[in-house]
Amino acid sequence: MGSRPTPEQLKKLASEYESKSAQEILAWALDTFGSKVALSSSFGAEDVVIIDMMAKIDRSRARVFTLDTGRLNQETYDVMDAIRARYGIPIEVYFPDQKEVEDMVRAKGMNLMYESVKNRKMCCEIRKVHPLNRALDKLDAWITGLRRDQVLTRATTKKIEIDSAHDSIAKINPLADWTSDMVWDYIRENKVPYNKLHDQGYPSIGCEPCTRAIMAGEDPRAGRWWWEEATAKECGLHFDPATKKFMPSKKLV
């Protein structure tokens, strides 16, 4: 592992690696950043694909962290344990700050997210964004399962980006150009453990009170924060302060 690439170097690498495969992107990330890169995983379909790929490239260097909001489905915990058993990779769990949660619930109630977008984003901020910031503070790069066809706000996602929200570290999205069919073909062909809620009509899985199954013909993200308009449906993990929008990180190419 060499020194952390500068933003200028990342810009050149982004152009060079945009045509590379997911496995090539991950191999580059592990070689370049070593122990200072990790996958941020909610254990959705894309994330378990990436975990399988990293384990096959170099299990000893594969790092995975997750944000336990305290409101997850039991099926999500089940797949965490299945992944741990299958690959032997430790899962680093980050919890929200106890006092922040207690103060929020005392002031707004347990189900504050249903009352307004502002409340819901506050809940996401405390339960997800703040723990993510703690996790990324220790890293030079992070890996995500973002895909361009998941939702409009992710349509311009690049495979290598600069994360301007987190000290300009690298944000690596190896599956950016994959389709949902490609993800599921990989899971089936490689017998990768996955969240069983996917079999119950949940293409996208977040916190239990904020996620529902979708009906035939609905957008894959329709089950997330279903009571809100589509333009508001991001939790803040991929917020770009440079544009003040819920968009992928700073584009490099």
Spatial distance between the Cα atoms of 59 and 46, rounded to a whole number of angstroms? 18
Q: Distance between CA 233 and CA 178 in Å, rounded? A: 21
Q: Tokens for 163, please give them.
A: 């994360």
Name the catalytic one among 123, 207, 210, 235: 235
d(CA 139, CA 102): 28
Q: Answer yes or no: 124 catalytic.
A: no
User: What is the edge-to-edge ordering of all strands in the sheet holding 64-67?
Assistant: 91-94, 64-67, 37-40, 141-143, 169-172, 160-163
Q: What is the four-CA torsion angle of 100, 103, 109, 115, rounded to 10 degrees?
A: -60
- C-beta neighbour count of 21 within 10 angstroms: 13
Nearest to 128 by CA among 234, 211, 23: 234
Name residue 141's beta-bridge partners.
37, 170
Q: Is 162 exposed, middle or buried (0-12, 13-18, 19+ CB in 10 A)?
A: buried
Could you tell me if 32 and 40 are in contact, meaning their C-beta atoms sit under 8 angstroms apart? Answer: no
What 3-state DSSP class applies to 114?
A: helix
> What amino acid positions are annotated as catalytic residues?
235
